[in-house]
Amino acid sequence: MAEIIQRDGTWVFDGDALRLTPGRDRNVGLLRKELGELAVPLRALAGVSLEQGKKAGRLRLRLRDGADPLLQATGGKLGEPNDPYQLTVEADRFGVAEYFVDEVRNALLLDEVPAGPVDGYLLPGPGVPLSASAGDGTATFDGESVRLDWNWKTEEAKSAAGARTLALGDITAVEWHPAVGLENGCLRFSVRGAETKAPPKYDPNSVELWGFKKDPLMALIAAAVQARLPHPAVSVAEEAAPPAAGAGAGAGAGAGRAAIPAPASEADHDALLRRLRELGELRREGVLTEEEFALAKQAVLKRL
């Protein structure tokens, strides 16, 4: 087991999962405090790194695309105090942090965890019911519907119709954007049959955010809803699926060829080549050292 304890939080790795617990330091963001302890399975990780500075450093986890509904809904735009996958490390603990990184990297290699995207969420997302107030409204999610209530700061054109209730089955997408510079952020829901390009200030399916301390709490609502929507990989797979037999005049021969499964040996060969490419990417990104890359590459080549 590897463990590192800092004022910013505590990370523990037991070989199968990482447990990330936020600290009580005043610099820890509200979102991390509300999330509490996170259990991240090893198979959800794409890599881990340590960035060293003169006075402090930072541990960073990189998750596989599509593994976490929070990252899916926020697009990786969570700031440093609220990002649960960063940990500030004091300079005198760099040795412990390096050992932690080595333990996680070795486990990723031994378990042959791929760095590519996943086709289903590996983290559950925030629990419900859940409510947050920020910007021009309050968003509440009970697992079946989202309710948007407006406050006195809401634009009259948006608040005139009163509170909004959006059934989960009618929501096609959700996204959270932070306020950046002079541009306001938002929690926005895309609703089937009510598509709009109106700015959040006037969109009745959006909460406008102005860059205040509680804005990241709206990301929890976004993540909880995202976790209950179809995984993005599902829609991609549906779009890429070949047409059914007889669906078109010229589809027969092409569809027949696509339906013939590849021989097992060929499939294994392609999988090993993909593994080599993934290892190369991990080396370029600094996740693997040259020695770790050489050992892993040799193991793959023996199986070719």
**pLDDT value for 283:** 73
Tens digits of residue pLDDT in 196-214: 888 999 999 999 999 999 9
- For residues 156 and 106, give the distance between their C-alpha atoms in angstroms, rounded to a whole number: 57
Comparing CA positions, the residue from 4, 69, 39, 59 lying closest to residue 221 is 69
- Contacts for 49-52 with beta carbons within 8 Å, 24 or more apart? 49/101, 49/286, 49/287, 50/89, 50/94, 50/97, 50/98, 50/101, 52/91, 52/94
A 10 A CB-CB count for 197 gives: 5
- Give the separation between CA 282 and CA 288, rounded to whole angstroms: 6
DSSP string, 168-208: GGGEEEEEEE--BTTB-EEEEEEETT------TTT-TTEEE
The pairing of beta strand 185-191 with beta strand 206-209: antiparallel
* pLDDT number for residue 98: 96
Asked if 97 and 4 count as a contact pair (C-beta separation under 8 A), the reply is: yes
Of 86, 41, 88, residue with least CA distance to 64: 41
CB 45 within 8 A of CB 60: no
Model's pTM, two decimal places? 0.77
Phi, psi of 273 (to 5 degrees): -65, -40
Q: Let me know: does 79 contact 180? Beta carbons within 8 Å.
A: no
Low-confidence ranges of the chain (pLDDT < 50): 246-264
Alpha-carbon dihedral of residues 43, 66, 115, 240, nearest 10 degrees?
Answer: 120
* 59 CB-side CA count, 13 A: 32
